[in-house]
Amino acid sequence: MSGRSGENRRGIPVKSNWMMRALLLTCGVAVALALMTREGGPLYEQGRLVAEVFSETGKPVELTDDNLVDSLSSLELNVPIAKVDLNGGILSVDLKVKDERLTKGELYAGMAELISFAFARTPNIDQLLLRLIAEDRWLGSRYLLVAADVRRGEWPADAPERLRKTGDGEIPADLKRWFRLTETALWRDKIH
């Protein structure tokens, strides 16, 4: 500081120096976030932003009743979750298919996202019971379309990505076997 109180050696008031630093820090953080979330950035995957559930140390988070809602709400799903239950190491999720414009590929992508979440981002889920349920909005009736009983360690690491990339085609037999996936007649005959 110079001889006058409140100024630095260059004659700039100290208070504005701190304001300038705060402004530069804020701009730097904004630029860093913009770079991380832009297409091709580390938080951007396959055309969408990715939010993962990890602790401050970067390790997967144990899924509990306390963090279940927050954890699942961070997922990018194109199908709403109708019901969730966590019972020990078993996570049960029902996805409600109510938009007739959704394609099989979009539904497979949602299933793959849940499988990746349950087994890659949480250490304590050993089984995922996943169902796609169609709901008739006029009658209130519910119809099972697809059910899967996915178990940790019983499929190769690339299986969720293969399911995601299936598109609107048929699910390959090996994925059906690994994920214990059952399709109803309604799914096979009516969903395109």
Model confidence pLDDT, tens digit, residues 12-66: 555 556 566 666 666 655 666 666 555 555 544 444 444 444 444 457 888 888 8
Of residues 159 and 60, the one with the higher pLDDT is 159
Report pLDDT for 35: 62
Q: In the numeric block, which tokens belong to residue 109?
A: 């992508």
Cβ atoms of residues 105 and 69 within 8 Å: no
pLDDT tens, position by position, 70-79: 888 888 888 8
| β-strand pairing of 90-97 with 81-87 | antiparallel
Q: Which of 17-31, 83-97, 158-172 has the lowest mean pLDDT?
A: 17-31
Residue 139: exposed, middle, or buried by beta-carbon count in 10 A (0-12, 13-18, 19+)?
exposed
pLDDT confidence band for 169 (50 / 70 / 90) = confident
Report pLDDT for 56: 46
Residue at 170: amino acid letter: E
In whole angstroms, what separates CA 149 from the centre of its chain?
19
Kindly give, in sequence order, each residue whose CB lies less than 8 Å from that of residue 163, ignoring residues fewer than 6 positions away.
108, 111, 112, 115, 171, 175, 179
